[in-house]
Amino acid sequence: MGAAPRALVIGGSLGGLFAANLLLRQGWDVEVFEQSARPLAGRGAGIVTHPDLFAALGRLGIDINVSGGIGVDIECRVTFDREGRELGRLAIPQCLTTWGRLHSLLLAAFPAGRHHLGHACTAVEQDAAGVTAVFANGHRTRGDLLVAADGIRSAVRAQFAPAVQPRYAGYIAWRGLVEEGALSAATRRDLFPRLAFSLPPAEHMVGYPVAGFDNSVREGERCFNFVWYRPAPADGPSAALPELCTDIEGRRHEMAIPPPLIRPQVIAAMREAARACLSPQFVEVVEKTPQPFLQAIFDLESEVMHFGRVALLGDAAFVARPHVGMGVSKAAGDALALAAALARDPTDPVAGLRDYAAQRLRFGRTVIAHARALGAYLEACAQGREDAGLRSRLHTPQAVMRDIAVTCDF
Contacting residues toward ligand FAD, per CB under 6 A: 10-16, 33-36, 40, 43-45, 47, 99, 119-121, 149-151, 155, 314-316, 322, 327-328, 331
For ligand FAD, give the closer residue by CB, 57 or 277. Answer: 57
CA distances from 58 to 61, 62, 320, 332 (A): 5, 6, 25, 11
Contact 233, 383 (CB under 8 A): yes
Residue 191 CB, nearest approach to ligand FAD (Å): 18
For ligand FAD, give the closer residue by CB, 122 or 216. Answer: 122
For ligand FAD, give the closer residue by CB, 151 or 200. Answer: 151
Residue 331 CB, nearest approach to ligand FAD (Å): 4
Which residues of 187-261 form beta strands (DSSP E)? 194-198, 204-210, 223-231
Strand order, beta sheet including 131-135 = 121-126, 131-135, 140-143
Residue 379 CB, nearest approach to ligand FAD (Å): 19
Q: Which residue is nearest to ligand FAD (CB)?
A: 314
325: left (phi over 0), alpha (psi -120 to 50) or beta: left
Residue 329 CB, nearest approach to ligand FAD (Å): 9
Residue 5 CB, nearest approach to ligand FAD (Å): 21
Residues 6+ apart with CB under 8 A from 158: none
Which residues of 267-315 form beta strands (DSSP E)? 293-301, 306-307, 310-312
CA distances from 396 to 94, 226, 269, 285, 403 (A): 21, 19, 26, 22, 11
Residue 6 CB, nearest approach to ligand FAD (Å): 17
CB count in 10 Å sphere of residue 380? 19
Residue 124 CB, nearest approach to ligand FAD (Å): 10
User: 381: part of which helix (H) or strand (E)?
Assistant: helix 376-382
For ligand FAD, give the closer residue by CB, 277 or 317. Answer: 317
Residue 202 CB, nearest approach to ligand FAD (Å): 23
| 2, β-bridge pairs | none
3-class SS at 401?
helix
For ligand FAD, give the closer residue by CB, 190 or 299. Answer: 299
For ligand FAD, give the closer residue by CB, 98 or 277. Answer: 98
For ligand FAD, give the closer residue by CB, 149 or 223. Answer: 149
For ligand FAD, give the closer residue by CB, 16 or 212. Answer: 16
For ligand FAD, give the closer residue by CB, 175 or 277. Answer: 175
Looking at 142-181, list the stretches that DSSP marks H as alpha helix, in order from N- to C-terminal side: 155-160
User: 90: part of which helix (H) or strand (E)?
Assistant: strand 86-98
Residue 48 CB, nearest approach to ligand FAD (Å): 8
Residues 397, 402, 404, 405, CA torsion sign: positive
Residues in the chain: 410
